[in-house]
């Protein structure tokens, strides 16, 4: 029987990840747009949460035709942030993520 690693018994905790995608519509008449998605991930460590966030972002990449027959391409740009959720209990209404700014410019 393989020896248990310390992470094998660690409890999975909630983490919040921010994933950034670039969205381009073919034709060049509109600039690229960017999305920032907030994703809940349960993992044993922040490193594991980051790996899972990157895998999720890559899996979300897509290309499809819109209603005008133009190709819309979603490209994963990266993980902007991963943090432990502010609270462990996510069963009731609660804040998930918070960040601070020096200014809004």
What is the average per-residue pLDDT within 5-32?
84
Nearest CA among 46, 57, 65, 68 for reference residue 22: 57
Q: Tell me if 21 is assigned to some domain.
A: yes
Query: Considering the entire predicted model, what is its pTM?
Result: 0.79
Give the structural domain span for 79.
Answer: 12-83
Establish if 1 belongs to a structural domain: no
* Residue bearing tokens 């899996």: 59
Distance (Å, whole) CA 61 – CA 48: 21
Determine, yes or no, domain membership for 63.
Answer: yes
Q: Residue 69 above 80 pLDDT?
A: yes
Task: Please state the domain count of the chain.
Answer: 1
Whether residue 92 is contained in a domain is answered as: no
Looking at residue 49, its pLDDT comes to 97
Quickly count: other Cβ atoms within 10 Å of residue 88's Cβ: 11
Instruction: Please give the share of the chain, as a percent, with pLDDT higher than 70.
Output: 90
């Amino acid at each position: 029987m393989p020896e248990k690693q310390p992470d094998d018994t660690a409890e999975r905790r909630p983490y919040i990840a921010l994933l950034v995608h670039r969205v381009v519509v073919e034709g060049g008449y509109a600039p690229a747009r960017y999305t920032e998605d907030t994703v809940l991930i349960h993992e044993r460590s922040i490193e594991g949460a980051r790996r899972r966030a990157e895998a999720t972002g890559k899996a979300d990449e897509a290309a499809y035709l819109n209603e005008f027959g133009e190709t819309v391409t979603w490209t994963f740009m990266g993980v902007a942030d991963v943090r432990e959720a502010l609270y462990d209990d996510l069963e009731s209404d609660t804040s998930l993520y918070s960040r601070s700014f020096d200014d809004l410019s």
